[in-house]
Amino acid sequence: MDDNHDDEEIKVQDESITPNKKNKLAEAEALIEASKELVAKVDSDVAECKVGISSAAEAFDTAKKTFNEVTFKNSEALLEKVGFDYTTFEERDAFELAVDSDDDEAFSVKSLNSGRFTGLLLAIFVALLTVMAWIYLAMTKLGIDPNSITTLDNATAQINPILTWIGGDMISANGNMTIGALILGFSALIMAWLVYAIRINFKAKKNLHIAQETFDKTNEYCSTQEACQQEMIKVDSHLREATQEITNLDMILNEQVSILKRIIHVEGIYDHEKDYHPSSKKVMRETEKIMRTAEHLVSTAITQDKKLNFQSVQALNTAKGIYSEYLGRIYD
Q: 207 pLDDT exceeds 90?
A: no
pLDDT for position 106:
67
pLDDT band with cut points at 50, 70 and 90 for residue 258: very high
Is 77 buried (19+), middle (13-18) or exposed (0-12) by CB count in 10 A? exposed
Q: 8 pLDDT exceeds 50?
A: no
pLDDT for position 12:
38
Q: Phi-psi bin for 101: left (phi > 0), alpha (psi -120 to 50), beta?
A: beta
CA pair distance 74, 95, nearest whole angstrom = 24
CA pair distance 26, 18, nearest whole angstrom = 10
Which of 149-153, 269-273, 288-292 shows the highest mean pLDDT? Answer: 288-292
pLDDT for position 4:
46
| Mean residue pLDDT across the chain | 81
Per-residue burial over 107-137, b = 16 or more CB atoms within 10 Å of its CB, e = otherwise: bebeebeebeeebeebbeebbeebeeebbee
pLDDT band with cut points at 50, 70 and 90 for residue 105: low
End-to-end CA distance of the chain: 41
Q: List pLDDT tens digits, range 76-99.
A: 999 999 988 887 766 555 666 776
pLDDT for position 2:
46
pLDDT for position 304:
84
Which of 82-86, 144-148, 308-312 shows the highest mean pLDDT? Answer: 308-312
Q: List pLDDT tens digits, range 108-128.
A: 777 777 777 888 898 899 889
The DSSP bridge partners found for residue 307 are 304
Pairwise pLDDT comparison (305 vs 41), residue with the higher score: 41
Secondary structure, 3-state, the chain: CCHHHHHHHHHHHHHHHCCCCCCHHHHHHHHHHHHHHHHHHHHHHHHHHHHHHHHHHHHHHHHHHHHHHHHHHHHHHHHHHCCCCCCCCCCCCCCCCCCCCCCCCCCCCCCCCCCHHHHHHHHHHHHHHHHHHHHHHHHHHHCCCHHHCCCHHHHHHHHHHHHHHHCCHHHCCCCCHHHHHHHHHHHHHHHHHHHHHHHHHHHHHHHHHHHHHHHHHHHHHHHHHHHHHHHHHHHHHHHHHHHHHHHHHHHHHHHHHHHHHHHHHHHCCCCCCCCCCHHHHHHHHHHHHHHHHHHHHHHCCCEECCEECHHHHHHHHHHHHHHHHHHHHHHC
pLDDT for position 14:
44
pLDDT for position 244:
95
Q: State mean pLDDT over 258-278.
A: 89
> What does the domain layout of the chain look like in residue ranges?
24-97+106-111+241-331, 116-211
